[in-house]
Structure 1
Amino acid sequence: MADFPSSSQVVSKQWQVFISFSGQDLRNNFISHLEGAFKQAEINYYIDNKETPSESQNVIFTRIQQSQIALPIFSSQYAESKWCLNELVEVMKQAKQGKLRVIPIFFNVTPKDVGSPYGSFGCKVYVESQHNPSSLPIWTAALKSATGNIGLLLKNYSNERLLIQEIVSSVKEVLDRLPSLHNVISREISPVTSGSSSSSEKSLFDDAMNHRIKQLAEMIDFSCDQTQIVGIVGMPGIGKTTLAKMYFDNYSDRYVFNKIISNIREMVQLRGHHYLESELLKGQELNDEAKIFSKKIFLVLDDVSQKKHIEFLLHNRRRIRKGSKIVITTRDKSSIAELFPEIYVVPPMNDTDAWQLFKDHAFKGGVSSTTGNFPKLTQKFVDYAGGNPLALVELGKELNGKDEAEWATRLENLPYKCNVNISRELRISYEELTVQQKDAFLDIACFFRSEEENYVKCLLDSECGDVVKKLAEKFFVCISGGKIEMHNLLCAFGKEIRSGERMCDHRKTTAILRDAVQQETKYVRGIFLDTCTETKGIPVDRERFTEKFNPMNLRYLKIYDSHFPENCKVYLPERLDFPFEKIRYLHWDNFDLEELPSDFNPKNLIDLRLPYNKKIERVWGAVKELPRLKWVDLSHSTKLTDLSALSKAFDLRRLNLKGCTSLEKLPEDMGNMKKLVFLNLRGCTTLSSLPEKLNLISLNTIILSGCSSFNKFELISNNLEFLHLDGTIISTLPPTIQNFKKLVLLNLKNCTMLESLPDCLDKLKALEELMLSGCSRLRTFPKIKVTMENLQILLLDGTSVEKPLQDQLEMNGLSMLRRLCLSRNDMIKSLQPCISKLYNLQWMDLRYCKNLTSLLTLPPNLQYLNAHGCISLKTVASPLALLLPTEKGPSSFIFTNCEKLEHVAKNEIICYVHNKTRISSDALNRHNKGLAFETLAATCFPGSVVPAWFDNKASGAVLERELPPYLRDNGFVGIALCAVVSFKNYKIQNNNFMVKCICELNNVEKSSSFFNFHIGDLSETDNQQQCRIKSTHVFIGFTSLFNGEMRRVPTKASIRFEVTDGTSEDAKCEVLKCGFSLVCESDNGSWHANAEANQLVCEPDNGVSDAKADAVPKDNGSGADGSSRGDELRPGESIFVRLWGRTSFFDQLRRGLRLY
């Protein structure tokens, strides 16, 4: 981690916005536009401007901590980046601590996509986590939490410009509610010195409170005749009393009778409730409560802890005159609930103010805060404090005058040892809890922080009822994204006060097991032992294990390795006594026995986890009662063969048997698990079928992926939504599949024995995704008699379907499809004409269809077509597709390695893209005024000549031209680009290959504008075949420019083309030729076409010299009839095929196969 900035550097290192995203295409388009908008709005932001991560993850985390707002921009590529997912974890951590506001942006994905672990987005996250499985729950939790924030969806806006405008507006709105950086700048100009700490600290805290006072003032209208009651609530030390007193000082003069009563809780404890009356009358002219409450009053009641405090003073609102204003501070929202007040939850201090407040107390006496490791250590202590002013002050005082080593030691002990003064303050609230609430709080603090709320409730005492809700009302926990979270201070406090009962410090636990430390353990309630730091392993003695831990108390036992669970090193004797009847949670990685001890009574067991076990063959011998068991994880237990021990787990909800390679069958009585929702059998390679007549009525998801012996699937639940049968050897699906009325996803990828699908497929009304990739024996597709209204994704790549979808398309059964993959099908010779009826189709993949010879008319809304490797393709339809006049979407058409593509076909492709561009540009021009720039269309195909209609050409990759002065009259709106690239049998190494253009336009005002555009990229979306480009190809694209600033008349253009993929293979690709032309607009806003229609087409590669190929045809200024055209263009003003479409969008489309 980089050093945290010194006080004189804090301002320059502070960011209003942190942008998190993934994808080079997104960076060079949407992100660059967003950056421009932020600059124009004078919004300070941080973004890593390198194409590869240039700084360590810890440095990026520091940047996040120094930001006020985070913008995670979710696209399909976000889930493919461990870097971004780790960023998001840190972002949500800061957000939960109140240090950061989060505005999620959903770019061609939805919150449901991002938050679901089962969809395409979730599958990508799962794939990325395989190298470190422990990261998966952390990532998914962060994603789910992020989707709980109010975000912005691209699909809700007609174009990216409107989305960018809304982002800027939302950021400004949030910044207006946050403490601005102005206060920080003021402190930088007048730095705090140790000699003036008291006054500067007051000024600092006042600055931090000003924004809160403003928020509170918005809740109370002094001009209103209605009684208003506001509760200022929050955890201890957050600043409730300070805020109330400052608010009272600011507004008390508006009422004749005003009063603040402080420390009510302490006052009542010392003197009783009746003393409140005398305190209320003290210093007032009126000596009768009735007379006081007969008038409008402004009353502040500080530190109310019980309902009867309110009842005694206010009689539950009955004695309050209308128009009065009451402010109450409390640590317990329920104590004032009957007053129905408005609630103001005091937020934590922002990171800047928190850092400064801590420093003011930690570095008194002349010690510099910028030397050595102090900046790094300071940031960690500030992070731990979580914006709590009391913690910042007390920790600062505790560390003042100590050296770095002492700081480091204290930091290491922070999770287990609370500061004395902080602990004293927290204990006040703790002692007011009931016994059940105390137990629940301590269990969560020591064992179950950040776990799912419903899960924790199940593990706690069943008689606790709404104990978690009560803890949340008292600010001991908070519920965020469905998870139970807890402040660091409370967590450390909980671990410390009952450390003998709840052992979660692995150092102390290890020492006890090794008899290195003697400690009373008979009241131990839970043990969590992380062995990741153990190199030799921990031996467990048979007798001493049960002697040390009283069987009547132990409820939670977790022995694990947080880094590599399969390497957990706790060595057990051959026989182990295990008489722990109260155990509710048992998690033991790499459990070292063949089964659990016979004396183990699981009657209270709720969650059983024994993953990565190399010995266990069965859970236990005899069938036992399991009345409370809800979760079981036996994943990667490679010798597990018998599950009969679970036959009485009638309440089981989730069962994970992933990687149990010796499991041949499931118990026949498994049908008794009526509440089972999730069943994971992935990689159970010896499992051949499920029990007959199995009816798991609640089952939502079953995963049989990679069960290479599984050959028969039967109906198991009418409520099934996600069915994964990929990699099995089933030959068909049963007709009863029509009963899966709720089925959303059917995954049959690489079912190499599958020969047919049932005719009742169209009965699956809820089906959205059907994946048949790699089903090489599948030759027919069933007739779809009724429109499948929800089916949007159909993957048929690698199948043998001869006439794909002819009957289905003629019946309009698949009319709602958006994505269609037919790649790697050697049976297809031509597409059926009826495919043009797929009006909603946006993405089509035809890669490696080696016998495809012709393309008939394509669907009108198609935005992405990939025909790479169609080595027999010769002709395309004329027109290639019908065009809709309202179409605005960007487009990309890839014909790489289509070596037999005829000259006429190439011309037809160019003409289609040209016409599509005209329609799109007209729509953008009408509706998107003010957009910075839009990219609309692109294509690539084998060839070696820059088309004749490009006005400016050159050999090589660089082109500079002086531009004609009369562009001003015709309205410069865009630029067309072309590059001829030699690949020399180039092999794509990754998914980052692109042909990029760097464009500089100098205008009449002698200023320059720079743009980066992609005019093409290539990627391989699976691992079956490495993409190899064999010859020279032509890349053509167009970008439109609508921003007012861009309409300044350019006088010179400098353009450089690059071919990059981030590997040493770059040298094998070379830009041989390039070209560009400017595009102008007539006065009435219509687009101009070139005078000669044939100038839009591509010249044949027939050995014509470069001189001839580069010649620019001249316009004679006459129409076809010889008459003069009133709207003619001067040379250089032709209309061209437009540049590469929005690459962020196309990247999502191109990677469609890899989504799964």
Structure 2
Amino acid sequence: MASSSLISGSNSPKYDVFLSFRGEDTRNTFTSHLYAALCRSKIETFIDDSEVRTGDEISSSLSIAIRSSSLSIIIFSKHYASSTWCLNELLEILECNKTRGHIILPIFYHVSPSEIRKQTGTYGEAFAIHEERFKETKDKVQNWRTALEKVTGLSGTVINHDRLESKFIDEIIQDVSLKLKRTTSGDYLDPGLVGITSRIERVETLLCIGMEDFRIIGIWGMGGIGKSTIAKAIFHRIAWQFESVCFLTDVKNEAKKGLQHLQETFLFKIFGEQNLYMDTFMVSKLSRKKILVVLDDVDDSEHLEVLADQNYFGLGSRIIVTSRDRQVLYSIGGDKLELYKVEGLNDRESLQLFNEKAFKQSFSPEDYMELPRKFVCYCGGNPLALQVLGGSLFRKSMPQWNSLLDKLKKCPNLKIQEVLRISYDGLEFEEQQIFLFIACFFKEEDLDRVINILDCCEYSTEHGINVLLDKCLLTITKNRLMMHDLIQEMGHGIVIQESPKEPSKRSRLWDPRDIRNLFERYMGISEVESISLNLSQISELYLSPGAFTRMPRLKLLKFSDIRHKEMNKVKIRKGILESLPDDLRYLCWHRYPSKSLPFKFNPNHLVELDMSYSNLQHLWKDTKDLGNLRLIDLQGCEQLIEVPDLSGAPNLHFMYLDGCSNLTKFPKISRSVKELDLSSTAVEEIPSLRHLTSLETLILQFCSNITKFPQISGTITYLNLRSTEIEEVPDSMIKSLNKLVDLRFCHSTRLKNLPTSMIHLTSLKTLTLSGCSNITKFPQISGAITELHLSGTAIDEVPNSVIESLYNLVHLDLRYNTRLKNLPSMSHLTSLETLFLSDCSNITEFPEISVEIRYLRLGRTAIEQIPSSVKRLTNLEDLTFDHCRSLKRVSNGIFKLESRYACFPSRKLDFSGCSKLKNLPEVLENSREIYSLRLTRSAMKTLPSSIELLSGLKELSLRYCKNLESLPNSLCNLTNLRRLDLSGCFGVEKMLANVLSSSSSSGLCSLRKLDLSECGMLVFPSALSGLCSLDELDLKGNNFESLSLKHFTSLTRLDISYCMRLKYLQEPLPSHLRFVDKSYCISLETLPDTTIVSTGERDISRHFQKDAKARYIWVLCSVGGSCVAWSVRLGSWVAALLLLP
């Protein structure tokens, strides 16, 4: 591959855990069970499989394994000390502990630490033998004794007969997981990150991770000073302490694709799902999570408003924002903001960093002692300048150093970009050209594509990129070319200096104003080689028919519509373009206005052609020389009716025609094509494609005219036939696809059952038949399958003979299979993590499944009871029974779900809509695992008095439980409860009064949100005044006339909308209150002076009293059928009026 030489070699394998044990004692018992549990927890563990060990000294491979492990578990069994091999392992482990900080976890397996420490019992007998055997080397025996004494002084686990061994193993796994998280969280720090530790510690002090509040940390400073580096290091260091994490890079550029795209990207990183929107439901989901978010490189306060609203996040959440603009950070943080300014490196740190780049070591050679200090002084502590300048001097002679230093002295006040120019000046001419192409055209583009394009410009691109990498002018991330902003700006400045006053004489253009000047004003011959224009940055651009005849050197042309939403902004006068430069290597013109490319255009040098969403009907008529062409992208060209013969394009690899809705004929293409996308075209017949021996991806989704399964080459790995009219899959065709990995037929409603030869597709990992309503039989497939999507089919049975072989299955989706009855046992499917059976209305029994299951959805099934065996599901995180209208009984096993791995509550139970479920079983023992319990619209009359044993519960919903009669007094003992929803429940005044009157001052001490909307309350319960931690209170739709909130000192949000009888909102209001919704409070007569009621636009200053403390309150109120929002800053009577739709 072109990029292979750019990838550095990987480090040697590293284990999380090394197991030290006496094989004859525990190999086939305790050790084997512990090893299996470690593997299930995805903890990389080294175990010596040798049954027979020869000699006294441990092997070099074991020494390496110990040294490359983070933690050692030493299982001291009865005869551990009789093995000299084990004792030497112990010495090696203690040495690693001393020199490398290696963690040791001792386990005393049916032997006491005292017996080991004092070497009595079997340990004394073993050492008596060692003393006799090693008379000549008594130091060795003494070292073993000392080692045993040291290790018994460490905290460990004593295993005896008072509990099941499985319980001990669960605790060990938890302990190991926590220790590894704490250890590896710091592993991210690159030793080359000079000065990073002190800066991380300062930011961590501001973060206050241990506090359960919400904070925004702004990291502010000039470009290249290390903001992103610090944020990334902190993210990897503390991420393990949060429920969900998101690192959103380059927000400034991501936002150019639209704020909606920005929010979707953010939500995808949090939830792992596409097409999510920031609606009320999503905000509710976010606000229940403790989240860590890093927003890197933000330059617009609007970006923070859509991503970092503090109302989106749960308590304990932290937002870290990096920006060059302090005002952007001030605009969103408010009193939650802590600002950290990144200062430059001090002289010692600067010198160390410079030496690392210039000499590949932390110190200067003796003959270079003074020169590095002079360069460090010049750089002024800027890390990027130090790296670039130091890198440019690597392996240079002293005269070259002095020459460079002299050059710097001539311009002592130059800015950082000019310092970066020095590294550019050290490049060969060809390397400079490659650098400028990347800076002005190819930043963030795919490495391999850039190499192909620039190679055709007769550059040695791969070599040039390697030079740029060595000189710190370029980095590669996920195979994309990345360049620091300062370095890119330096590249832009170099091009501008080619002709400061006449852009048309520059080699590269990217600024919309310069491009407009070139096309609409300049009439001479242009020197330009590349033009890159983002269509979202212009209103219109007019081209003359002969616009490109004056650009003979143009190689790269890009008129891009990144969002594919812009109208046709580039217009051609008289409608016809006469020509395009024959020297073009890359042509991207989204929404090209003409029906074809110019007749005179010769694309023989063209490498990539991207004419997405254009008005093209065809590309060209006659045969063209296409020897360099590698990619054609014509997606969204709805008027395209034909594609020229491309069988003579020997290097064409990628062809995208999706959305060409008038294209009826399958294109003639070269056998070199690897990816072909014909989605949503009108193609009616697919010819035999068996000659396309390079084809790996074929996408024919939404091709409604395709009725036959295509004849394709056995090289195919991904085949998408979604929403086609295919009725059958011929046995003769499918069995040859032995490399097929992903096959999709979803919503192909005419498709009938698949052939039995599917079982021979041993490479198939994903099969999707969702929405194939004529599929009546469960497919016979290979045991290699990992994902099986069968929702919305007509399957009525899952044969045991098929399911028993799917030992690699991870995800099984059987939703909406209304004919499907109970399933066979799947307890042997130990890889299965997700099982979806929602809306399988004939499922009446709880499925037999593996204890490894993590997500189980059984909503809208006919299950009547949950068996006690549910307690075996120790990995379960999400168990849903919503709208199971036949469910009457729940076993108390539902509350005995013991976690083997989790250190914090991680499970939610959902019984919403279970209209026959009247009660829950008693909780028999303490459980911290369940954090959410939803009983919305169930038939619940009360909760068990033992509910207090769900000590990890954070969310409880009894919304619209119309039969609810009482709440147990023990509810007040749920000290971790954050959200309580009793909306739509009548009589809650009395219920809550009984609960809170029986509690101590600490009752419901963590409650942050209480929803009592539409409860028909005539009087606001005075007992609620003790809930001083309450942050949000929802009282909408109630019937009380007066409301006092003076005791709710932490309240920030209040909803009293539709309280039509409410007349008085008594003062004082809570000092932290920021939002009040009083829409349709038609009887409300007065508000305290610290708020405002608006009945239209008018002078509002008279509503304020001058106050030393300035704060804001948002008040929503009904004004003539529309909704008005006031933003009020108290103390200086400033307000903003916003009319909401």
- TM-score, normalised to structure 2's length? 0.51
| 2:700–2:721 Cα contact (<8 Å) kept | yes
1: CA distance, partners of 2:227 / 2:1015: 38
User: 2:249 corresponds to which residue?
Assistant: 88
Structure 1 residue 723: Cα displacement: 1.8
Q: Which moved more, 1:651-660 or 1:953-962?
A: 953-962
User: 2:1135 corresponds to which residue?
Assistant: none
User: 1:539 corresponds to which residue?
Assistant: 542
2: CA distance, partners of 1:508 / 1:997: 73
Residue by residue, what CA displacement relative to the aligned partner does 1:634-681 show, whole Å, maximum 9, x if unpaired? 1110011211243322211211111110111223x42x232x222222
Go from structure 1 to structure 2 and tell me whether the alpha carbon gap of 1:807 and 1:304 turns closer, same or farther (over 3 Å shift). Answer: closer
Go from structure 1 to structure 2 and tell me whether the alpha carbon gap of 1:682 and 1:945 turns closer, same or farther (over 3 Å shift). Answer: same
2: CA distance, partners of 1:214 / 1:699: 52
2:591 aligned with 1:600: no
Structure 1 residue 71: Cα displacement: 2.7
Query: What letter corresponds to residue 592 of structure 2 in structure 1?
Result: F
Matches within 5 A, 1:1088-1107: none
3-state SS of paired residue (2:346): helix
Go from structure 1 to structure 2 and tell me whether the alpha carbon gap of 1:715 and 1:57 turns closer, same or farther (over 3 Å shift). Answer: farther
Go from structure 1 to structure 2 and tell me whether the alpha carbon gap of 1:47 and 1:467 turns closer, same or farther (over 3 Å shift). Answer: same
Which of 503, 517, 520 does residue 514 from structure 1 map onto? 520
2: CA distance, partners of 1:513 / 1:798: 56
User: 1:707 corresponds to which residue?
Assistant: 703
2: CA distance, partners of 1:594 / 1:1058: 62
Residue by residue, what CA displacement relative to the aligned partner does 1:92-136 show, whole Å, maximum 9, x if unpaired? 999xxxxxxxxxxxx9x9xxx989xxxx96x827999xxxxxxxx
User: 1:548 corresponds to which residue?
Assistant: 550
3-state SS of paired residue (1:471): helix
User: 1:1135 corresponds to which residue?
Assistant: none
User: 2:475 corresponds to which residue?
Assistant: 478
1: CA distance, partners of 2:985 / 2:822: 26
3-state SS of paired residue (1:71): helix
Query: What letter corresponds to residue 606 of structure 1 in structure 2?
Result: V
2: CA distance, partners of 1:1068 / 1:597: 72
Query: What letter corresponds to residue 524 of structure 1 in structure 2?
Result: V
User: 2:581 corresponds to which residue?
Assistant: 580
Residue by residue, what CA displacement relative to the aligned partner does 1:241-268 show, whole Å, maximum 9, x if unpaired? xx99xx66xxx9xx7x885457999xxx
2: CA distance, partners of 1:578 / 1:56: 52
Residue by residue, what CA displacement relative to the aligned partner does 1:191-243 show, whole Å, maximum 9, x if unpaired? 99xxxxxxxx9x975x53433556689x8xxxxxxxxxx7348xxxxxxxxx9
1: CA distance, partners of 2:943 / 2:706: 64
| 1:749–1:772 Cα contact (<8 Å) kept | yes
Residue by residue, what CA displacement relative to the aligned partner does 1:164-197 show, whole Å, maximum 9, x if unpaired? xxx99xx9xxxxxxxxxxxxxxxxxxx99xxxxx
2:813 aligned with 1:821: yes
Query: What letter corresponds to residue 922 of structure 2 in structure 1?
Result: W
| 2:612–2:637 Cα contact (<8 Å) kept | yes
2:919 aligned with 1:781: no
Matches within 5 A, 1:178-189: none
Go from structure 1 to structure 2 and tell me whether the alpha carbon gap of 1:1014 and 1:57 turns closer, same or farther (over 3 Å shift). Answer: farther
Go from structure 1 to structure 2 and tell me whether the alpha carbon gap of 1:231 and 1:91 turns closer, same or farther (over 3 Å shift). Answer: farther
Query: What letter corresponds to residue 642 of structure 1 in structure 2?
Result: E
2: CA distance, partners of 1:774 / 1:73: 44
Go from structure 1 to structure 2 and tell me whether the alpha carbon gap of 1:231 and 1:979 turns closer, same or farther (over 3 Å shift). Answer: closer
User: 2:638 corresponds to which residue?
Assistant: 638
Go from structure 1 to structure 2 and tell me whether the alpha carbon gap of 1:433 and 1:714 turns closer, same or farther (over 3 Å shift). Answer: same
Residue by residue, what CA displacement relative to the aligned partner does 1:282-302 show, whole Å, maximum 9, x if unpaired? xxxxxxxxxxxxxxxxxxxx9
Structure 1 residue 710: Cα displacement: 2.1
Go from structure 1 to structure 2 and tell me whether the alpha carbon gap of 1:1057 and 1:834 turns closer, same or farther (over 3 Å shift). Answer: same
User: 1:673 corresponds to which residue?
Assistant: 671
| Greater relative contact order, per chain length (Cα 8 Å cut-off, separation 6+) | 1
Residue by residue, what CA displacement relative to the aligned partner does 1:735-771 show, whole Å, maximum 9, x if unpaired? 2223333322222111111111011112222222211
Query: What letter corresponds to residue 784 of structure 2 in structure 1?
Result: N
Q: Which moved more, 1:423-432 or 1:838-847?
A: 423-432
User: 1:448 corresponds to which residue?
Assistant: 442
2:759 aligned with 1:762: yes
Matches within 5 A, 1:414-453: 425=419, 428-453=422-447
Which of 523, 528, 535 does residue 524 from structure 1 map onto? 528
Go from structure 1 to structure 2 and tell me whether the alpha carbon gap of 1:700 and 1:46 turns closer, same or farther (over 3 Å shift). Answer: farther
Structure 1 residue 959: Cα displacement: 11
For structure 2, list consecutive stretches of 5 or more residues without a partner in the other structure.
1-176, 186-199, 256-265, 279-292, 297-316, 321-338, 376-388, 926-932, 987-998, 1018-1141
User: 1:793 corresponds to which residue?
Assistant: 787
Identity, % of aligned pairs?
Answer: 21
1: CA distance, partners of 2:237 / 2:343: 34
Query: What letter corresponds to residue 605 of structure 2 in structure 1?
Result: N
Structure 1 residue 520: Cα displacement: 4.9
| 2:509–2:532 Cα contact (<8 Å) kept | yes
| 1:445–1:494 Cα contact (<8 Å) kept | no
3-state SS of paired residue (1:458): helix
Structure 1 residue 792: Cα displacement: 2.1
Residue by residue, what CA displacement relative to the aligned partner does 1:496-521 show, whole Å, maximum 9, x if unpaired? 13452222221022123222xx4754
Residue by residue, what CA displacement relative to the aligned partner does 1:43-99 show, whole Å, maximum 9, x if unpaired? 54399999999999999x999798464538999xx99x9xx98933339999xxxxx
CA RMSD of aligned residues (A): 6.1
| 2:960–2:985 Cα contact (<8 Å) kept | yes
Matches within 5 A, 1:855-870: 855=846, 857-870=848-861
1: CA distance, partners of 2:753 / 2:1005: 54
Query: What letter corresponds to residue 442 of structure 2 in structure 1?
Result: F
Residue by residue, what CA displacement relative to the aligned partner does 1:551-581 show, whole Å, maximum 9, x if unpaired? 3x11111223455554131222343221521
3-state SS of paired residue (1:124): coil
User: 1:211 corresponds to which residue?
Assistant: 349
Which of 709, 722, 745 does residue 718 from structure 2 map onto? 722
User: 1:124 corresponds to which residue?
Assistant: 274
1: CA distance, partners of 2:203 / 2:426: 50
2: CA distance, partners of 1:998 / 1:579: 81
Which of 843, 847, 853 does residue 852 from structure 1 map onto? 843
2: CA distance, partners of 1:51 / 1:483: 38
1: CA distance, partners of 2:560 / 2:644: 26
Go from structure 1 to structure 2 and tell me whether the alpha carbon gap of 1:596 and 1:938 turns closer, same or farther (over 3 Å shift). Answer: closer
Q: Which moved more, 1:654-663 or 1:456-465?
A: 456-465
Go from structure 1 to structure 2 and tell me whether the alpha carbon gap of 1:628 and 1:826 turns closer, same or farther (over 3 Å shift). Answer: same
3-state SS of paired residue (1:446): helix
| 2:664–2:684 Cα contact (<8 Å) kept | yes
User: 2:686 corresponds to which residue?
Assistant: 690
User: 1:649 corresponds to which residue?
Assistant: 649
| 1:70–1:91 Cα contact (<8 Å) kept | no
Residue by residue, what CA displacement relative to the aligned partner does 1:329-351 show, whole Å, maximum 9, x if unpaired? 9999xxxxxxxxxxxxxxxxxxx
Query: What letter corresponds to residue 458 of structure 1 in structure 2?
Result: N
Query: What letter corresponds to residue 807 of structure 2 in structure 1?
Result: S
2: CA distance, partners of 1:210 / 1:93: 37
Residue by residue, what CA displacement relative to the aligned partner does 1:933-959 show, whole Å, maximum 9, x if unpaired? 565867564346444736999999999
| 1:532–1:564 Cα contact (<8 Å) kept | no
| 1:531–1:569 Cα contact (<8 Å) kept | yes
1: CA distance, partners of 2:394 / 2:955: 74
| 1:659–1:683 Cα contact (<8 Å) kept | yes
Go from structure 1 to structure 2 and tell me whether the alpha carbon gap of 1:575 and 1:935 turns closer, same or farther (over 3 Å shift). Answer: closer
User: 1:841 corresponds to which residue?
Assistant: 832
Structure 1 residue 845: Cα displacement: 1.9
